[in-house]
Amino acid sequence: MKLYSANLSPFAARVRLAVYAKGLSLEIALPPGGPKSAEYLALNPIGKIPTLVLDDGRCLPESDTIVEYLEDLGQGAPLLPADPADRARVRLLARVGEGYVMGPLQRLFGQTNPATRDAAVVAREMKALDEGLAHLNVFLAGAGGFSGKITFADCQLVPTLFFVRAMTPALGDADMLERHEAVAGYFAHVAQDPSALRVLDELRVALETFMTKGQLT
Ligand SMILES: N[C@@H](CCC(=O)N[C@@H](CS)C(=O)NCC(=O)O)C(=O)O
């Protein structure tokens, strides 16, 4: 299998965290010619990172679908518990992270340059992000924080919370993440996991490279 990825992409980071936690070995590469090249669009017509190319040549786009596929292969450490209600709780955390935290965050990615920033968009999406973190806080507190083993939810939450912490100070709220105690406690705890740490290091270096050299790695 081959994973088209970029270290800066939170969606690709979600898949890499699953790959590392499961101990899978697969080739990881940047999309040939970028995500909108003809070569890459032939693999993934949506033109977004990541894409997983299966051994028989079939291609899977969309990070959640790819992680579910890796889980269904049944290799390495499971990312979902056995009990149906526990599985649903894990999937719920990922869904809250995706819809209510990553959603506003994505709309803020285009607002990082002060020269082109739209104050109304920043105010609206920062409020939505804060509300999303409040929802996540409730569910994480109910789940008791990080379970000690990387789950389907952690794969979504680790890259997402990296970007919350990286972006919100420059957008006028230095301690948004810290105000949500269960989220902050969860993030501090999960960041000690070796696979999470590896992905967080990749994200940090990729963000520094992008900010200093404008290069997507
Ligand atoms: N829903 C997709 C989102 C993927 C996505 O937005 N990827 C971004 C990188 S973070 C991308 O490829 N953007 C390139 C573009 O839109 O040209 C997933 O979960 O995989």
Residue 156 Cβ inside 6 Å of ligand 1? The answer reads no
Q: What is the pLDDT, as a whole number, of residue 55?
A: 96
Within-domain flag for 79: no
Closest ligand 1 atom number to CA of residue 48? 12
Euclidean distance between CA atoms 67 and 53, whole angstroms: 13
CA angle 34, 36, 42 (to 5 degrees): 105
Edge-to-edge strand list for the sheet holding 51-53: 27-29, 2-4, 51-53, 59-61
* Single residue among 73, 100, 123 that ends a domain in this structure: 73
Say yes or no: 198 and 162 in one domain.
yes
Q: Work out how many domains the chain is built from and give that number.
A: 2
Residue 156: which CATH number? 1.20.1050.10
Within-domain flag for 28: yes
- CB-based contact 196:150 (threshold 8 Å): yes
Q: What is the pLDDT, as a whole number, of residue 76?
A: 97
- Give the pair of three-digit tokens for residue 206: 């990729």
Within-domain flag for 78: no
Q: In this predicted model, what pLDDT tens digit does every residue of 47-98 receive, in sequence order?
A: 999 999 999 999 999 999 999 999 999 999 999 999 999 999 999 999 999 9
Say yes or no: 62 and 167 in one domain.
no
Expressed in angstroms and rounded, the spacing between residue 142 Cα and the centre of ligand 1 is: 30
Say yes or no: 57 and 159 in one domain.
no
Q: What is the pLDDT, as a whole number, of residue 128?
A: 98
Q: What distances in angstroms separate CA 201 from CA 19, 30, 67, 109, 173, one per listed residue? A: 15, 18, 20, 20, 23
Q: What is the pLDDT, as a whole number, of residue 157?
A: 98
Residue ranges of alpha helices (H) inside the chain are 10-22, 38-43, 63-73, 84-96, 103-109, 119-143, 152-167, 176-179, 181-190, 194-213
- CB-based contact 97:153 (threshold 8 Å): yes
Euclidean distance between CA atoms 16 and 6, whole angstroms: 10
Within-domain flag for 103: yes
Residues of the chain with pLDDT under 50: none
Q: What is the pLDDT, as a whole number, of residue 68?
A: 98
Q: What is the pLDDT, as a whole number, of residue 44?
A: 98
Within-domain flag for 172: yes
Say yes or no: 45 and 151 in one domain.
no
Say yes or no: 91 and 194 in one domain.
yes
Say yes or no: 66 and 105 in one domain.
no
Euclidean distance between CA atoms 46 and 62, whole angstroms: 9
Q: What is the pLDDT, as a whole number, of residue 25?
A: 94
Residue 13: which CATH number? 3.40.30.10
Expressed in angstroms and rounded, the spacing between residue 67 Cα and the centre of ligand 1 is: 15
Q: What is the pLDDT, as a whole number, of residue 45?
A: 98
- Give the pair of three-digit tokens for residue 2: 């081959």
Expressed in angstroms and rounded, the spacing between residue 46 Cα and the centre of ligand 1 is: 9
User: What is the extent of the structural domain holding 155?
Assistant: 84-213
Q: What is the pLDDT, as a whole number, of residue 118?
A: 97
Say yes or no: 148 and 69 in one domain.
no
Residue 63 Cβ inside 6 Å of ligand 1? The answer reads yes
Say yes or no: 93 and 163 in one domain.
yes
* Single residue among 17, 43, 73 that ends a domain in this structure: 73
- CB-based contact 147:78 (threshold 8 Å): no
Expressed in angstroms and rounded, the spacing between residue 22 Cα and the centre of ligand 1 is: 23
Say yes or no: 18 and 49 in one domain.
yes
Say yes or no: 41 and 107 in one domain.
no
Q: What is the pLDDT, as a whole number, of residue 151?
A: 98
Say yes or no: 116 and 204 in one domain.
yes
- For tokens 């993934």, what's the residue? 44
- CB-based contact 160:176 (threshold 8 Å): no
Say yes or no: 118 and 189 in one domain.
yes
